[in-house]
Copies of this chain bind each other. A is one copy, B any other.
Amino acid sequence: MKKKHKILNDPVYGFVSIPYGIIFDLIEHPYFQRLRRIKQVSLTHYVYPGALHTRFNHAIGAFHLTQQAIASLRDKGVAINLEEAEAVSIAILLHDIGHGPFSHTLEQTLIHVHHEELSLLFMEKLNEEFDGRLDLAIAIFRDQYHKPFLHQLVSGQLDMDRMDYLNRDSYFTGVSEGVIGYHRLIKMLNVHEGRLVVEEKGLYSIEKFLIARRLMYWQVYLHKTVLSAEIMLIQCIRRAKDLRSQGIPVEAPPSLAYFLNQEVSREDFLKDRDLLLNYFATLDDTDIAAAVKQWQNHSDPILSHLSYGLANRKLFRLSFYDQPLREELLTELRLQLAQHENLPSDGEDYFIISGKETNAAYSTSQDEINILLKDGTVQPISLVSNHGIQSRSFTQYYLCCPKQLTINSEQFNKV
């Protein structure tokens, strides 16, 4: 008998079944295979060395959880027909297909288009190749389908995307803080008036999920050494672009060279979609990594210093503060840099970086997680929880600069 499924081994969930047909064909497509070369969490492996998993792994995992969610909802009598099930599966599979090299890190540096918009462009291009079979998936992805809970499975405060990445990032970093009881969470999902709800007895699990997410932010995603490496990478790409714009040669593989040479905007992508998508589709982490290695020997001291640091993990120091940095302190640091004998005197724009990071595990202003109470009514979790949902966003200011510079800590209010 002909097999209906391809089985993949996923260390996080075990076997994942991929049905032959459009789902299998999309995974086989070079656009999707490319995700094998884009790390899920950028340079996090410089702190958590196991965190080498990719957008490919994540997309497959989120697809797998979506199958479980569909089964669980159907088991409760929620109507989801075959076409809808396939469409929501396609939408989750492709939700991150627009990510470029190092995922979020270079999103505003190398490409000036949000990855979700690129995901949509890829879906539209694939829809043409697949003769319109992605129509419904695209409608769900854009939240234009009359069963909003399908969109919420793909994108929401309790979607299969978040569930997978918390599990997966925990598994590959080894940080147990992110482990969530996804089995229980999925079993507790239900639909009420077309929207996703969580049954009341899943309340503690949701609280735990939100806390796990918050802790993963501060312990992993915004870890200061990770942030420092990512900032250095941004500066490195910025410098390469600047040098090229000044006519100074900076070697790079052809697809990277294309995006170093010009600022490509959303409008450009819309205007010349097929060409630009194909350029973009050949670009991934390996181009950046190979280029950075080469740039260690570049004659520009700023570029070579940043590249050496990135290639060999000699990273800037990053400190967090609970208020914005005063301008005079930055001035003082720039002066130190200018006078430092081993650092490029004109490097201040690339070597002294300040900014802020904000995180809220949960937002009460967006589409809230709703709880289906035992009496049949529905309430947002922020009203139901006895334990205080942390909805307030939380901001920290940072300073990132070479370890050779001295920060006068009294002048700062360090966290």
Contacts and interface: CB of A to CB of B under 8 A. Distances in A.
A165 to B, nearest CB: 14
B49 A60 contact: yes
A175 B172 CA distance: 15
Contact of A37 (B171, B254, B289): B289
A14 B49 CA distance: 12
Contacts of A204: 177, 215, 218-219
Given A176-B179, A254-B294, 17 more contacts: A1-B77, A4-B75, A9-B173, A10-B49, A10-B174, A33-B313, A36-B313, A49-B60, A50-B53, A52-B53, A176-B181, A179-B179, A207-B215, A208-B211, A253-B294, A282-B293, A287-B290
Interface in A15-67: 15, 28, 30, 33, 36-37, 45, 47-50, 52-54, 56-57, 60
Contacts of A146: none
A379 to B, nearest CB: 13
Nearest to A182: B176
Give the residue among A11, A175, A294, A390 with the most B Cβ atoms within 10 A: A11
B1 A76 contact: yes
Interface in A86-101: none
Interface string A358-379: 0000000000000000100000
Given A176-B179, A177-B204, A290-B287, A45 B50 contact: no
Number of copies of this kind of chain in the complex: 4
Given A176-B181, A177-B205, A218-B204, A286 B290 contact: yes
A287 B286 CA distance: 7
Interface of A: 1, 3-5, 7-12, 14-15, 28, 30, 33, 36-37, 45, 47-50, 52-54, 56-57, 60, 75-77, 171-177, 179-181, 183-184, 187, 204-205, 207-208, 211-212, 214-215, 218-219, 253-255, 282, 284-287, 289-290, 293-294, 311-313, 374, 386-388, 390, 394, 414
A36 B49 contact: yes
B387 A214 contact: yes
B205 A174 contact: no
Nearest to A293: B282
A312 B180 CA distance: 33
A75 B208 contact: no
Contacts of A30: 311-312
Contacts of A7: 187
A287 to B, nearest CB: 5
19 contacts: A1-B77, A3-B76, A9-B47, A9-B49, A12-B174, A15-B183, A49-B57, A49-B60, A176-B179, A176-B180, A177-B208, A179-B179, A208-B211, A253-B293, A286-B286, A286-B290, A287-B293, A290-B290, A386-B394
Give the residue among A3, A9, A33, A211 with the most B Cβ atoms within 10 A: A9
Contacts of A254: 294
A3 B28 CA distance: 39
A184 B170 CA distance: 14
A216 to B, nearest CB: 9
